[in-house]
Structure 1
């Protein structure tokens, strides 16, 4: 099964696809024409689930009052959500809400749905990744790096399960820095954090938003931010780019549809989500949950390119681990 987006999606190709699936130009104009499904490739209560549920009423308004059912399909790192989307009708009424786990699990061989089977509509969030430590253990990243250099193979960094965005952040950092470190997988960010605080591991790689309460309490500190520029809230934490490491990937949250969905419907969906993204209500939500540290929006074409590049990188990192 091919694993990359194909190049068949030209205007002519999409027109032929629309004809073969019975989706006409008028269908696109009248979209949506029936109830819709938001398939969440994650469990209830997590970041992707909250994202989908917050967006739902805003999206309903943007497309003229469609009825939408949100369905959580967390099994196999969300693969079931991807399969249902890829195997369903290519009419834009089934949307796959997924995080970066979609491409990390694909690179790890855990996801049977190739990137050629889904079309990205848009990315709306990119939660910034960071390296976190107990500040009583390491004052800053230079202290951490010196310790790692002096103790090769003994530094342990935790995060959520293998082939997660946390794991990919760790592998990217180890690859770029040359530091000899080991990754310890946990079943949750909370468990990884608890093991840092308990002194069982040296650090954790994860996104900023889940650890804000620990940061505010002075229990955890981000000592390296995966970002182009220093964040206003953490001016003393250097970025990966300052060390000449091109590591700025975050934990993205995006929307996908069946790969054969006609371009007119994909564009209708993209425009509706852009309207949601630009709204005061959505921006207030993003600020409230600290997802406004950097621009979250990418249109479908931009995100397609990002996914391709990340698939290549993550495949290499996992192969060389």
Structure 2
């Protein structure tokens, strides 16, 4: 039964909702009301940094010429960028640009900022991961697989630091395949690649785009691609799914904001980034740097679900050793 008190409470609640929705609508209409800051959770010159700097002029134009600055915060696997975003104002003027390292470092306990403190706006890139070798040592994946099966514990695979996308790609492959292999961390993709070429390790797990020059020179070759279907550029290279392994992770690059940012503003930003993603200028960039092997776009809610699923997987894999 509705009493006067109940009706009064309900009316007050509706009024507060209306005020909140009105405030959010005003924030969208007034956005941006001050300069925007891109906090890049990586160093200058890398994939995340290039992504942010390519997007910057496009976003400046899309939001009416607002001034945007880019700040690189690579410390602690980018955790400083996430902390500053989470501790800043929830008004959409601080945008956190991050890669898959965000969730891998979270799973490893290296990053204190979880998905209760950051909200994904959108994913715009998914750089395909692959297993690379010196083709003079392993001409194809079958030869690598045969050697690994016949020599348990002797195969070494390198990649960037522990709990990196390279590392969790290795762990995922080892977990799915059952192969007895070991991981060796390096401080850069270049060092891992040099050790493959020098015969110190058998292979490296990393994304395709950083090794394109080595592939073109015939020095390195992908022998297994983490994908559902074979890529047009590499029609002869088998995929993980072909071998029955549900393993298609890539190195994602995405945009986050403070978790308390009004939903209407988050949706507005998602729409702006989706328009940027679909633009001829952005698609030309993606094609130029070989980030068009598969669809990069993913909306905020869908990407949040992906991050939550990956967090559970990576936590289990990292707990089970190197």
What's the TM-score, normalizing by structure 2? Answer: 0.93
SS in structure 2 opposite 1:124? strand
Kept after mapping to 1: 8 A contact 2:152/2:180: yes
The aligned residue for residue 289 of structure 1 is 289
Kept after mapping to 1: 8 A contact 2:130/2:208: yes
Structure 1 residues 284 and 118: alpha-carbon distance in aligned structure 2, compared to 1, 3 A threshold = same
The aligned residue for residue 3 of structure 2 is none
The aligned residue for residue 216 of structure 1 is 216
Greater radius of gyration (CA): 2
The aligned residue for residue 181 of structure 2 is 181
Structure 1 residues 100 and 23: alpha-carbon distance in aligned structure 2, compared to 1, 3 A threshold = farther
Moved more, 92-101 or 27-36: 27-36
Segments of 5+ residues of structure 2 without an aligned counterpart are 1-12
1:250-265 correspondence runs (5 A): 250-265=250-265
Offset at residue 25 of structure 1 (A): 2.3
Runs of at least 4 residues off by over 4 Å: none
SS in structure 2 opposite 1:116? coil
Distance 1:50 1:269 in 2: 20
Distance 1:215 1:181 in 2: 24
Offset at residue 23 of structure 1 (A): 5.2
1:108-127 correspondence runs (5 A): 108-127=108-127
The aligned residue for residue 233 of structure 2 is 233
Kept after mapping to 2: 8 A contact 1:23/1:262: no
1:102 and 2:111 aligned: no
The aligned residue for residue 272 of structure 2 is 272
Kept after mapping to 2: 8 A contact 1:42/1:73: yes
Deviations 1:114-136, CA, capped at 9 Å, x for gaps: 11110000000000000000000
Deviations 1:133-153, CA, capped at 9 Å, x for gaps: 000001111110110011100
SS in structure 1 opposite 2:166? helix
The aligned residue for residue 7 of structure 2 is none
Distance 1:62 1:182 in 2: 47
What's the TM-score, normalizing by structure 1? Answer: 0.93
Distance 1:177 1:201 in 2: 19
The aligned residue for residue 5 of structure 1 is none
SS in structure 1 opposite 2:110? coil
Kept after mapping to 1: 8 A contact 2:24/2:264: no
The aligned residue for residue 169 of structure 1 is 169
Equivalent pairs, count: 306
1:63-142 correspondence runs (5 A): 63-142=63-142
The aligned residue for residue 204 of structure 1 is 204
Distance 1:195 1:24 in 2: 53
Q: Provide the aligned C-alpha RMSD in A.
A: 1.5
Kept after mapping to 1: 8 A contact 2:165/2:206: yes
SS in structure 2 opposite 1:192? helix
Offset at residue 163 of structure 1 (A): 0.2
The aligned residue for residue 3 of structure 1 is none
